[in-house]
Amino acid sequence: MKLCVLSLSFFFFLFLSIAYGLNANCDTQDQDSTLQVFHIFSPCSPFRPSKAISWEETVMEMQRSDQARLQYFSSLVAKKSIVPIASGRQTIQSPTYILRIRIGTPPQTMLMAMDTSNDAALLPCNGCLGCSTVFNSVKSTTFKNHACGAAQCHQVPLSTCGGSVCSFNMSYGGSTIAANLSQDTVTLATDPVPNYTFGCIQKTTGSSVPSQGLLGLGRGPLSLLSQTQTLYHSTFSYCLPSFRSLNFSGSLRLGPTGQPPRIKTTPLLKNPRRSSLYYVNLIGIKVGRKKVDIPASALAFNPTTGAGTIFDSGTVYTRLVAPAYTAVRDEFRKRVGNLTVTSLGGFDTCYSVPIVAPTITFMFSGLNMTLLPDNLLIHSTAGSTTCLALAASEIGVSSELNVIANMQQQNHRVLIDVPNSRLGVAREQCS
């Protein structure tokens, strides 16, 4: 089964669209096995900012969102449940790509964030205090709440019973969410999935409200992969388009059919402390043709501490543990030449003159992923500032975790094949 999706925008195209009024086709409907996906703040999204923001403000906001997401990764170590519905508590603040789904009978269209590092589906429901757009469960003839004795209820950490309904609470920062564990028919393009379990949000407080919902593509029992296992066999791939393209065209393919047959792969690693995340074995990094000197401990996979390397669709900029980042950054600066280096927010390698950047290659067991300048450099709107779009993981914020983020994944096909325990990467122009 193939599920293609179209992404109409990314964050920098967001800035251009709002500031300069570029047109976007927002009326195209989902057809056959095709779903559109677009950035939450694109011109097609009801959640976009009401006024233009500068390039510097855009970069700072994405860095703040990444910090919240990295904090979420850190929090997973303390959880022993393999299905933390609350795992979306930091992530839902900063989804990168959202897609339209239909839920209920008759179907209602909702927007949900696509997230490879979460299991749960969360939707704001009718009667929700503090929510904006909601799913009206009263109008669906196939909706029902899970009872306290349901097997799914036991898969939710800290679940409680309000009467006979299974419910749960989650908190983060100054915000809280209260939800019922519910089920209904979810339709992805033309594929109906009956009895899909999700968190039906009843109340939110604070400023970090998941207004568009969240669809988890992790590998826990309540994730999309697990709930559609007979349909898609826990296999999917995606290609994220470059934000520099005016016609963003990415794809998410669910199921083994249509996946690239000759893609190079590396083994997926399983971490019981962070069971939803897609770990791989990063064995080295090259800058240009030189393999930089990185302590083995900076790249090592450690299930006890949660250390290692993951692929994540929701983090914007790749983070490397401090020793690895310092080694890569220093060699990058050396290759660029003796130019004045400035900083911008969390980026410490910026230039005010044009540069010729070397490639950076992530070396995994069985495959190499070479990043070209479009995957490595961000440029100001006027072109006067260029920054290396990598950063060091900060102390106390998942400081032991290397995160291969979505900017570095752009124009690559990333395959997740859970039954065969492998992750594949191949260069693909999907912009």
Q: Which string of DSSP letters, residue by residue, matches 353-394?
A: S---PPPEEEEETTEEEEEPHHHHEEE-TTS--EEE-EEEPP
Q: Which residues are catalytic?
A: 115, 312
Residue that has been written with the tokens 């927002």 in this structure:
26
How far is the C-alpha of 36 from the C-alpha of 429, rounded, in Å?
18
Q: Which residues of 37-58 are buried (b: 16+ CB within 10 A; e: fewer)?
A: bbbbbbbbbeebeeeeeebeeb
Residue 375 has phi, psi (to 5 degrees) of -90, -10
d(CA 363, CA 397): 24
Q: Which residues pair with 214 in a beta bridge?
A: 113, 122
149 CB-near residues (< 8 Å, 6+ apart): none
CA dist 202 → 126, 171, 225 (Å)? 8, 14, 25
The gap from C-alpha 229 to its chain's centroid, in whole angstroms, comes to: 21
d(C-alpha 430, C-alpha 424), whole Å: 16
Residue 342, Cα to own-chain centre: how many angstroms? Answer: 29
Beta-strand ranges (E) seen in 71-143 are: 97-103, 108-115, 121-129
Best CA proximity match to 48, nearest among 1, 86, 9, 85: 9
Q: Which spans in 265-358 are helix H?
A: 296-299, 322-336
Q: What is the CA radius of gyration of the chain?
A: 21
Q: Counting runs of H as helices and runs of E as strands, what totals does the chain give?
A: 8, 29
